[in-house]
A and B are shown apart, each in its own frame.
Chain A
């Protein structure tokens, strides 16, 4: 077992930050190359005219999921120490709705707003400014909703844990769902694209 590299001491704290910067540049580069720095393409997700975002994100999820599963099966990655973001169901649902509203209004999400700004788009800069103002407002008003923020905690759970299914079966289910989503996306684009 030798990965995650940071958890097993192969990367120091500073080295892991340097790796994060490199991965961040790579992430932004491929988002931009995939056209996800364009607000019209991103907003098309919500009008069902362009579902590139769904295809890119679901492809990334499937790639990472299969990679981690089989590397874990081979004993290269210790999945028990891969960090899982804890789940707070209702607060995260509300957060998702707020995120979605901002996404469809602005046409960009926080990550792609960085990509758009990096390519000189003014709407990217506007979204970035709004994001930082939102962060400040969130921190200043946090005491008002701290109780709700920490409610409905489920800890670090996976789909397999919640469904009570073996991990391998859940992997197959997610891939089947991805294939279905891609097929549906093609039909929706054919019907609603102008």
Chain B
């Protein structure tokens, strides 16, 4: 067989095996290093040792930041950071890339993308569908509880809240809730 024939046969073989790969395998895989807003909120509520680092510029940080978050310019990479380190950015993916720079020993370094938007949507202004199943309802109850802890207002609605972070931030401010 020629080189091209070998390559073609290899390609066909790999393609025939592809459908047999893990049926749960999809193009959108959940990164185990990513933490969601509800989980982070529960850690803060339960006083779990965690250091939250805001990687955005200082102006964005001063405008709004997650509870107990420190600006990257003030944070220490490793060193005095306590417990789990959670990095978040403004949606440019820098938190994922910065994980290696903040790694120290065995401490976990996690990240959130679009943390502000997720926090405002899922913690401060969560909306739950009225026709939720019992299992979904249980998950919503967990989210609603932590939402109220941080001064959020859980609501029941027919549509998923697709408002942007800016609009949610302005609405949160109008309620007089500030961090």
Contact = CB atoms under 8 A, between A and B. Distances in A.
A72 B96 CA distance: 18
B2 to A, nearest CB: 15
Interface string B30-62: 110000000000000000000000000000000
A169 B27 CA distance: 12
Nearest to A83: B93
A167 B25 contact: yes
A80 B96 contact: no
Contacts of A175: 11-12, 15
A9 B101 contact: yes
Given A62-B11, A66-B11, A166-B23, A7 B16 contact: no
B85 to A, nearest CB: 14
A177 to B, nearest CB: 11
Contacts of B93: 7, 81
A168 interface: yes
A146 B27 CA distance: 31
Q: How large is the interface on B (under 10, 10 to 19, 20 to 34, 35 or more residues)?
A: 20 to 34
B14 A66 contact: yes
Contacts of A69: 18, 21
A172 interface: yes
Interface of A: 1, 6-10, 62-63, 66, 69-70, 72-73, 78-81, 158, 160-161, 166-169, 171-172, 174-176, 179
Given A81-B31, A160-B27, 13 more contacts: A9-B97, A62-B11, A66-B11, A66-B15, A66-B18, A79-B27, A80-B27, A80-B28, A167-B18, A167-B21, A168-B21, A169-B19, A172-B16
